[in-house]
Structure 1
Amino acid sequence: MRAAMKSFDPAQRLYNLASVQTDLSFSVPPEPETLYRTQAVGGGADIDISGPGFDFIRSIDVFQVSIRQRESNKGECNRSDFVRHGTYDANGQYHWRASSLGVLPSAFRGEESYGEHCPEIYIRAVFVDWDDHRGRYGFEQVNY
């Protein structure tokens, strides 16, 4: 391929990469402590995606999930759950909003015993599901 690097110094390479991105745009909320019901990410799509040919984009659902359940030393069952749901709107804008365990798709695995007796459960996961351009369902769950 006959490619060559100008410098093998890692610090210089990072400096060069940083200087390439001169117009980074981002916004800072006016009050960092304020909780927002919905958080938009990015500026939306560069093209019109409102037509039915782009339904597969709007079908993408992303769930950030954290579930804990365990019995305390006193015999009490301590439970906590956090679910955040991300979706695309008709303009290609991505939004996060607070959600609940009841909204998780049936393909999600790990919370089946939550709320029953008190087996120990600890799950942190990102779950993504979608319908492809032919309407076929697909999903991926990554526990971390």
Structure 2
Amino acid sequence: MAGLNPQSPTPRDLTVHGQSRVLEVEFSDGAHFRIPFELMRIYSPSAEVQGHGPGQEVLQTGKRDVTLTALEPIGNYAVQPTFSDGHDTGIFSWEYLYFLGSEQERLWADYAKRLAAAGVDRDSPMPDKPGHACAH
């Protein structure tokens, strides 16, 4: 992972809003974002979601009601959330949170296109992965 660019904005404040299911982030450059947990979960930077290269992404569905059960700091450059569905392998750098916050409109549109292409909707259950125990 590339080192943090010293010019990159860093969070001044992070607030987890459990009721509205958003992570509110205020950055040092004045930018202020409310990032839905669902968006964080479907765009998690983990290998489990992103795959191991372009085109390997695993389309995430059924994540509308996901919540954050924990948010652990990783050094002074990232946080590692634990989601209510058990997913906890994504490390969200400040730059990645900034990207999610600033690009959410485009990311939601891209997600809608990927759902349509797969013939599923946002609330479809995730298919069980072969060879993996299904945790409910």
TM-score range (shorter-chain normalised) is: under 0.3
Q: Does 1 or 2 have the higher relative contact order (CA < 8 Å, sep 6+)?
A: 1
TM-score with structure 1 length normalisation? 0.25
Which structure dedicates a bigger proportion of its chain to helix?
A: 2
Higher strand content, 1 or 2: 1
Q: Which has the larger radius of gyration?
A: 1
